[in-house]
Amino acid sequence: MATVREIVTVESGNPVLREKARKVQKIDASLQTLIDDMVATMREAPGVGLAAPQVGAPLRVIVVEAPLDEDDPQSGKVYAIINPEIIKTSPEMEEGEEGCLSIPNWQGSVNRYVWVVVKGVDRQGREFRIRARDYVARIFQHEIDHLDGILFTDRVQDREKIWKIGERNRRQRFSEAVADETVLG
């Protein structure tokens, strides 16, 4: 039975989010449990990816539940990748919105490679490579960043490009209210 673990947030002050995670040396029972728990935690949150430091484990492990993509026959499956490494990237980058389970209520616009090739080891110990693009590539880059203590907020280049979800909604409501007042004269 998998256990939903507590997600470490930046507010907690736990330094694990800022440390470089260790390479996994041995795929043992405790690592299998960690992966099962990470998948359960990601789904419960819910999120589309999770890195081991986010549950307090300073190890190079990520899980990604890729959203459906018509062009990717493997989409919709759960990837658990041990010691993931980006070995190739697209020449171009693209801006897109991101949030993070460790930074609740914040979103930002982040530049990422459009596609990446990730090399890693699966939970049976077999080395594999996967090419991901667009949203899935973005998730991989975000999660692998976590293994080096990098958060998406570090990659936001302009303060205007990060916002608190509630505040953006409030701003929208505020402008609607202003519009109403204008009508009322």
16 contacts Zn ion (rule: CB under 5 A): no
Count residues near Zn ion (CB under 5 A).
Answer: 1
Minimum separation from the CB atom of position 70 to Zn ion (A): 26
The helix/strand/coil state of 30 is helix
Minimum separation from the CB atom of position 12 to Zn ion (A): 14
Catalytic hit among 6, 70, 92, 143: 143
Site map (CB under 5 A) of Zn ion, residues 74-103, x = contact? --------------------------x---
Of 115 and 140, the one with the shorter C-beta distance to Zn ion is 140
Task: Give CA–CA dist 139/152, Å, rounded.
Answer: 11
Q: How many helices (H) and strands (E) does the chain have?
A: 3, 8
Strand pairing partners for 112? 94
User: Pick from 120, 123, 125, 156: which is nearest to 140 by CA?
Assistant: 120
Minimum separation from the CB atom of position 124 to Zn ion (A): 26
Q: Rounded to 5 degrees, what are φ and ψ at 59?
A: -125, 155
The helix/strand/coil state of 84 is strand
**In the complex, which residue's CB is closest to Zn ion?**
100
Of 35 and 48, the one with the shorter C-beta distance to Zn ion is 48
Residues 100-119, interacting with Zn ion (CB under 5 A): 100
Minimum separation from the CB atom of position 146 to Zn ion (A): 6
Minimum separation from the CB atom of position 130 to Zn ion (A): 19
143 included as an active-site residue: yes
Residue pair 7/102 in contact (Cβ under 8 Å)? The answer is: yes
Strand pairing partners for 96? 110
Task: Give CA–CA dist 35/29, Å, rounded.
Answer: 10
Of 103 and 130, the one with the shorter C-beta distance to Zn ion is 103
Phi-psi region of 134 (alpha: psi -120 to 50; beta: other; left: phi over 0): left
- Residues annotated catalytic, as ranges: 143
Contacts with Zn ion by CB under 5 A lie at: 100
